[in-house]
Structures are given as structure tokens and as C-alpha cells.
Amino acid sequence: MASVDAENFRLAVLNPAGRDPEQHFGNADTAPVNVHPPVNFHAYAACTGGAVFRETKRAIASGWPVLVLLRGDFRATARALSELKKAGRITAVSLKETGVHQIAQQLSDPARFARFDKIVKEANGCIATTPEAAELFRAFRREAIAFLPTPYPIEDENWNWAMENRAGIFIGTRELDVPSRNHLTALLAAKKLNDATKEPVTVYNFNRRKGARLIAQIGFARIRVHEKRVRYRAYLGDLARHKIVFQLDRSRVPGQVAGDTLLCRGVCVGGDGAIERIAFPETCGDKRSDNELIEIASRLLRNDDERHVVAERGTQIAQEKLSFRVGRENLWRFFAELTR
């Protein structure tokens, strides 16, 4: 097994049989702006100047260490891992979907559970995007497990969406049919904030008529509803116009809502994702009731100075713990350790 050189370290992220096209990030200092954004698992490749693949042979040909995503029924992951081992590649695995509801659904099938057990034990190591996923991996093996939160290009001015003259509340969740997202509860809480502060509310509704009827029945005084998906950069531009991002998600996900907020140099209130807990410890939903979060949101909507302090503190934490520079260093150290 070849050693991992710090200066030339690149990571191949393999989503076997996935839908995203192959994508190369040639310069780790500047994330591409016209392709898949450098978020979620693409961020692991982007921060190292690596690439995302969907064909195993292409990942092998790169000559780099490989992070294989556990997805679907795990059959494609098992086949990919077998091929990578035969080729002598250093290989770690990671769950592509890590929400509490998603993990429960994936591992409830006995055959899939057995496949997961075998894959996790045969890989050189496991990377978890949440502390909870790390604990899950530790139930199947003891060593070579790391919680490495998805990095964000916080140091790249191409992804700095700071904006002045903000107004309103941006609802960070959008899935009415996933109970742990608590999307309806977040809408009801936003209605209280809307009534008390007169700040307008923005929500993305992808539940079509069902979502539209619920929003109408709640009866917002001022609300903007988007029903069409937009490109990521347009989405960030919309989010950046708001004073706060508000959510009541209890899914223990990696935390893209908070990550998007960081790129906008804003404030995220609520949510218990990994990024929320790291970057917004004073406003996240971990160990806080819905009423506490409504109170925090109300205070920040009224107090510009306090809101700016929270936003600046989140940006500083991100630079220290979640930047591309830190992400690359953590990934290199992890894969270097696997070769010893």
C-alpha cells in the first residue's frame, strides 16, 4: 500500500453507479463555479483538488486514495470496494445519507444490514460526516474511524455571499413529509415571528399543492414562496438577503443549511446538524426547545448588533474548523494514517 504524500495529496470520491457526472477540481484554492457546487461529498474532493467519479475504473486510474459512498442497497458499493482492493487502492467508506430517519431505513433490511457490516469491516477506514454516523461505524469496527465534517470554501471570495441591508426570515427546511425535519412546525414558528416582528418570511415549497394549501391555511401576513428549483448560486443569493435562517430540523444531518448560511455570512437559528452544532453553538437546536429557538430568533431579528456578532463568530469558527484548508489537512492526515 503506497504512502500518502502531503504535498501531492488528492482524493477521489466515488459514488458508484451514481447520477452526478465525473467532475475534477483542479485547483484546491478556487472551487469551480459553473458545475456541481463544492458542498456535501463534492467538498471532500474539491478541498483536495481531487475529483468525483461514478465509475470505479476511473477512480482506480486516478492513482489517488478513494472515498467510496455507501448508497442505495449497498450492492454497488460492495462491488466497487472489491475492485479497489484488488487494485491496491487505499479506500475509506462513508454513508451518503446520514439523517437519523435515513440510517434507520437503510439498515432495517437484514440483507442490507449484512452487506453494510461486511463493507465497513473490509474497508481501510470509515469517514463520518456526523458524530452519530461515527458512533454507528464504531458498532461494527474499532479503529480507523474519523468524524470529518464536510468542509466549506469559507476562505474563497468566489463563494463569499456577504450582503448588507438584510431583511426577513429564510426557512431552511422544505420537506413536509419527513417528520424529523419538523418543517410544518418551523412554518408555524415563523408565523409567530412574522406577526411579532413584521419580518417577511421566505420558503421553498417543493410539496406542490399540499404545501401550498398548508402555507395558505397558516395565514402569513408577508411571505414569499418559491416553487421551482434554482441553481445553487441563485439559491445562496436569495438566502443571503435575509436576517436569519430558521429551522427546527431534528434529523442529525451533516448540516448543509448551516453551511449555506456560513457562505452567506449569516446566522442560522435551529437545527441539530453537525455544522449547526460546530459553527452556531449559541443558536443551534441541540438541547434547546422550539420556544427557546423562537425567542432567540426574535431577539436576533430585532438586534442588529447581536446578530452581527453571532454571524462573525460563526465565520471565525468556520475558518478554524470547517474551511477547505482544514478539510484538506484532516483528510490527508486520516488517509496517511491508514497506510501505517
pLDDT at residue 2 in the model? 53
Q: What's the burial of 340, exposed, middle or buried (CB within 10 Å: 0-12/13-18/19+)?
A: exposed
**Confidence check: pLDDT of 28 > 60:** no
Cell of 320: 478554524
3-state secondary structure of 245: strand
pLDDT at residue 35 in the model? 73
Domains of the chain: 12-151+323-338 (3.40.50), 157-320 (3.40.50.2000)
**CB distance 99 to 253 below 8 Å:** yes
Return d(Cα 206, Cα 196) in angstroms, integer. 27
Q: What's the burial of 51, exposed, middle or buried (CB within 10 Å: 0-12/13-18/19+)?
A: buried
> CA 19: distance to chain centroid?
18
Count the neighbouring beta carbons within 10 Å of the beta carbon of residue 306.
14
Backbone angles phi, psi at 250, to 5 degrees: -120, 35
What mean pLDDT is predicted for residues 235-253?
Answer: 97
3-state secondary structure of 200: coil
pLDDT at residue 253 in the model? 96
294-337: per-residue pLDDT in tens? 999 999 999 999 999 999 999 999 999 999 999 999 999 999 99
Cα dist from 126 to 152, 158, 159, 260, 334, whole Å: 20, 31, 29, 25, 10
**Confidence check: pLDDT of 257 > 70:** yes
**Confidence check: pLDDT of 32 > 90:** no
Angle at 227 between CA 226 and CA 230, to 5 degrees: 75
Q: Give the confidence band of 340 by pLDDT, cuts at 50, 70, 90.
A: confident
Return d(Cα 327, Cα 323) in angstroms, integer. 6
Backbone angles phi, psi at 280, to 5 degrees: -130, 60
179-213: per-residue pLDDT in tens? 999 999 999 999 999 999 999 999 999 888 989 99
Q: Give the confidence band of 30 by pLDDT, cuts at 50, 70, 90.
A: very low
HSE of 210, CA atoms in CB hemisphere, 13 A: 8
Q: Give the confidence band of 27 by pLDDT, cuts at 50, 70, 90.
A: low
Return d(Cα 298, Cα 42) in angstroms, integer. 35
- 167's enclosing H/E stretch is none
Cα dist from 214 to 47, 174, 183, 185, 268, whole Å: 41, 13, 11, 11, 24
33-77: per-residue pLDDT in tens? 557 899 999 999 999 999 999 999 999 999 999 999 999 999 999
Return d(Cα 19, Cα 96) in angstroms, integer. 13
Q: Give the confidence band of 3 by pLDDT, cuts at 50, 70, 90.
A: low
Return d(Cα 275, Cα 242) in angstroms, integer. 19
Dihedral class, residue 75 (left if φ above 0, else alpha if ψ from -120 to 50, else beta): alpha
4-25: per-residue pLDDT in tens? 788 899 999 999 988 889 999 9
